[in-house]
Structure 1
Amino acid sequence: MAIIAFVFPLVIGTACDNEGPLPATNAQDIVDENDDHMKDTITIHVGDKVFSATLLDNAAATALKAMLPFTINMTELNGNEKFFRLPGNLPTSASNPTTINSGDLMLWGSNTLVLFYETFSTSYSYTKLGRIDSPTGLAAALGTGNVTVTIDFQ
């Protein structure tokens, strides 16, 4: 009888002390809003201009997010894009978009990050990473030569 008297208060005490937060009601409640690695929105800083970009939900974009934040020197190419060779390879799922749009952020090959600032037709294949939400002023901000760009979480 002494054993039951000893165990019973332990069980009751444990049940009463377990008053944590209420269970989440949907998946949004489960995500820690302070965990920047869960966000799909990034910022691209060019000089004093800041552009918001939305990343796609794919393996390459996830791998890119894991590298953030970083500051890179992007090289001018063809009067329509800036590129940077990443130090490692990202997962690829390349396809030909037929049209590149100003603000597209893509991966050429497995390690070349490309930011397009003009719209044009293409025969090349890229892995789509995301795009700048409002590319107005992007071409002017990037200029005609190489440029330093910082990419970070929003």
Structure 2
Amino acid sequence: MFFLSLSVGSAANPNDVIKLKVNDAVFDVELENNSATQELMKTLKNGNVTINASDYGNFEKVGELGFSLPTNDENVNTAPGDIVLYQGNHISLFYDSHSWSYTKIGKIQNVDSNQLKNVLGSGDVKLTLSLK
């Protein structure tokens, strides 16, 4: 099992960056500017959010948030490093590509798919979202 931590800035403006930590690996994630990221950041002001994520379809790790966020779904062709909201209450972290209707949350910067696959491993991961 891996530990994943997202540190989020104070507002969801274009080019806001969060930190993504998986064990000792830390990645920068550039946030989208939408109502989902704005509400997520408001929620995180009240404390951390932990997500137990499982592998799905050999292309993503997905887990339930425990609450809902506003959706801005659009047909998205995901790529490794994309983080999206699915059905308003699930977070998906992609290590391969897929196409579906999602709300974009952000994108990991400067990571290739092999590096991301190695960090995530083949089993379940624990994601913890927190403010800086």
Q: Report the TM-score range of the alignment, normalised by the length of the smaller protein.
A: 0.7 to 0.9
> Shift of residue 153 of structure 1?
4.2
Residues 123-145 of structure 1, C-alpha deviations (whole Å, 9 max, x = no match): x2001111111223211100111
1:51 counterpart residue number? 27
Which ranges of structure 2 fall in alignment gaps of 5 or more residues?
Answer: 1-8
Matched, 1:149 2:127: yes
2:73 equivalent among 94, 113, 116 = 94
> Structure 1 residues 142 and 38 mapped into 2: Cα distance closer, same or farther (>3 Å)?
same
* TM-score, with structure 2 as normaliser: 0.78
**CA distance in structure 2 between the partners assigned to 1:109 and 1:43 by the alignment:** 24
Aligned-partner residue type, residue 103 of structure 2 = T
CA distance in 2, matches of 1:143, 1:61: 26
Whether contact under 8 Å (2:83, 2:106) holds in the other structure is yes
Report sequence identity in percent: 34
Q: Aligned-pair RMSD on alpha carbons?
A: 1.7
Greater share of residues in strand = 2
Residues 127-136 or 67-76, more deviating: 67-76
Give the aligned partner of residue 90 of structure 2.
112
The letter for the 1-side match of 2:122 is T
Question: 1 or 2 for the larger relative contact order (CA 8 Å, sep ≥6)?
Answer: 2
CA contact (8 A) 1:43 1:152 kept: no
Quote the Cα distance in structure 1 between the aligned partners of 2:88 and 2:130: 21
Structure (1 or 2) with the larger CA radius of gyration: 1
Can you give the 5+ residue segments of structure 1 that lack an aligned partner in the other structure?
A: 1-35
Once the 2 structures are TM-superposed, how far is the Cα of residue 88 of structure 1 from its aligned partner?
1.1
CA distance in 2, matches of 1:121, 1:70: 26
Task: Establish whether residue 133 from structure 1 lines up as the match of residue 109 from structure 2.
Answer: yes
TM-score (norm 1): 0.68
Structure with a larger share of its residues in helix: 1
Aligned length: 116
